[in-house]
Amino acid sequence: METIQVPIIGWIAFGVLVLGLLAVDLLAHRKKHGESKRSAMAWSAGWIALGLSFSVFVWKMFGAQAAHEYLGAWLIEKSLSLDNLFVFLVIFRSLSVPEDEQRRVLFWGIFGALLFRALFIFAGVEALEHWHAVVYVFGAILLVTAIRVAFEDPARQRESSVVRWLSHRLPISASVDGPHFFTKQMGRRMATPLLVALIAIEITDIAFAVDSVPAALAVTQKPFLVYTSNVFAILGLRALYIALAHVISELRYLHYGLAAVLAFAGLKMIVPDRWVHVPPLASALVVLVCIGTAVAASLWSRARKRRREQKPKSPGPGEAGHREVPV
């Protein structure tokens, strides 16, 4: 496997870049309340454009093959991040977190996710380099997860099991206290629903990393490409959630597309490359087809349902053609 060498200064420069982007995301929305859907969609498009444009930098520095691998891994991570949006929605609904305070929780949740993903990625790459059999373990994890995702529609979840578990173990205030994670009630220091939401998001992201990191490793096992693709896929989650929060639960077939992506990545890890070689760009195309088909089917089903609801009801028996006859 061809490797790419990134000096320590390169990793430091990328870390500074990420911190700068996080600062922009935090400061640009600091005084905003009730961010509009149009603004969130514009920010989401900007983050997507930034993630795609980074592939040009990879191309210039490491060549076309590395850029293809980055794009394939980024697209897989971006697609699987849609599953996170379902979880965010369920967590915030379970805790009745106001929309104005959700941005703060998402920002710190994403910051923590970047740190945890780094640990998972470097541990996964190290394991693959020393024990090749780990490939089959990762592949099996992805296939089992694909089956679970296919049969468990996250859009139908009404309560987060993580929130329920935390609620029985932490002293939690009945309501939020502005942007604060802690508050005092009757002289007792308590966690607010914002802190519970943040902890729940971090725990669920760790669980998601068990699936998404092996999926990215199915495309490339180069640490720099895996991590940068994860970072640029995660950075836009806050804006993407705000843009899609009102419709994500209506994408009734999306979980089938996510399951197909996970199954594809699992098979790609298990089946030897000498038997079936799938180039990175072909992997990206498979992901686009899976997610695109699921979203298109969901939107068609949603439009069909709305047309049925708007269609006037036919008159019941005895009502059709009824006319009053004068006496």
Span 30-42, pLDDT tens digits:
655 556 778 888 8
The pLDDT, as a whole number, for residue 327 is: 44
- Domain range spanning residue 231? 36-308
Whether 61 is in a domain gets the answer: yes
pLDDT in tens, 234-249: 888 888 888 777 777 7
What residues form DSSP beta bridges with 180? 177
What residues form DSSP beta bridges with 182? 191
pLDDT in tens, 44-89: 899 999 999 999 999 999 999 999 999 999 998 888 888 778 888 8
Rounded Cα distance, 246 and 156, in Å: 14
Whether 59 is in a domain gets the answer: yes
Query: Would you list the DSSP string of 158-175?
Result: -S-HHHHHHHTTS-B-SS
Q: How confident is the model at residue 155 (pLDDT cuts 50, 70, 90)?
A: low
pLDDT in tens, 302-318: 888 777 777 766 555 55
Whether 175 is in a domain gets the answer: yes
The pLDDT, as a whole number, for residue 70 is: 93
Whether 326 is in a domain gets the answer: no
Average pLDDT over residues 138-151: 87
Q: How confident is the model at residue 293 (pLDDT cuts 50, 70, 90)?
A: very high
Please name the helix (run of DSSP H) or strand (run of DSSP E) that holds residue 148, with its range, or none.
Answer: helix 134-151
Rounded Cα distance, 189 and 271, in Å: 54
Query: Would you list the DSSP string of 262-317?
Result: HHHHHHHHHS-TTTS---HHHHHHHHHHHHHHHHHHHHHHHHHHHHHHHSPPPP-T
How far is CA 194 from its chain centroid?
20
Domain count, the chain: 1
Task: Give first-to-last CA distance, the chain, whole Å.
Answer: 95
pLDDT surpassing 50 at residue 323: no
Helix axes 193-217, 64-95, angle to 10 degrees: 150
Whether 288 is in a domain gets the answer: yes
Please name the helix (run of DSSP H) or strand (run of DSSP E) that holds residue 58, with its range, or none.
Answer: helix 37-62
Whether 67 is in a domain gets the answer: yes
Whether 212 is in a domain gets the answer: yes
pLDDT surpassing 70 at residue 326: no
**pTM score, whole prediction:** 0.80
The pLDDT, as a whole number, for residue 228 is: 93
Rg (CA), the chain: 23
The answer to which of 143-147, 161-165, 258-262 has the lowest mean pLDDT is 161-165
Whether 316 is in a domain gets the answer: no
User: Mean pLDDT of all residues in the chain?
Assistant: 81
Average pLDDT over residues 248-252: 77
Rounded Cα distance, 296 and 110, in Å: 28
